[in-house]
Structure 1
Amino acid sequence: MDKPVHHFSELFEQLGLANDTASIERFIERNSPLPEEMPLADAACWNEGQAEFLREAVDEDADWAEVVDHLDVSMHKNN
């Protein structure tokens, strides 16, 4: 069975954040770049529930893992 494909905006909605394009861009701009060695889920911008969701998505290779990886790359990029 194929995993569902989630969009970037759906991840932000799942995290309880504004999920329109401008809000997503502002969030990433405001909270990045993260230090290279810092896992995404350890960033100060997440509450406990959000951080746990991000960790579990990657650790369990959940259907959210691909879009969480995309966010990880986006937040570690130097702007």
Structure 2
Amino acid sequence: MEHPVHPFTELFEQLGLPADEASIRAFIERHSPLPPTLALHEAPFWNQAQAAFLHAALEEDADWAEVVDHLDASLRKT
């Protein structure tokens, strides 16, 4: 079974964040870089629901996992 592909903007919508290109870029710039030892879902800027969603997406290898990995990588760039 193929997993649906979620665009980056849809992940931001799912997290309840502004999803336009400028807002996404500003979010990443504001919160980067994450320390290498900090799991994405443990970052202090997530609320409890956002953190739970991100953690579950990766733990369950859900259809969101690929785009969550993309967010993780984007937040680790310096």
Superposed pair shares fold, TM > 0.5: yes
Q: What is aligned with 1:50?
A: 50
Tell me the equivalent position of 1:72. Answer: 72
Q: TM-score, normalised by structure 2?
A: 0.98
Please give the alpha-carbon distance, in whole angstroms, between the structure 2 residues aligned to 1:72 and 1:65.
10
Q: Deviations over 1:11-51 (max 9, x none)?
A: 00000000000000000000110101111101111000000
The alignment covers a number of residue pairs equal to 78
* Structure 1 position 37 matched with structure 2 position 49: no
**Alpha-carbon RMSD:** 0.5
* Structure 1: 5+ residue stretches without partners: none
Question: Mind listing any 5+ residue stretches in structure 2 that lack a counterpart?
Answer: none
Report sequence identity in percent: 63
Give the TM-score of the pair, scaled to structure 1.
0.97
* 4+ aligned runs moved over 6 Å, structure 1: none
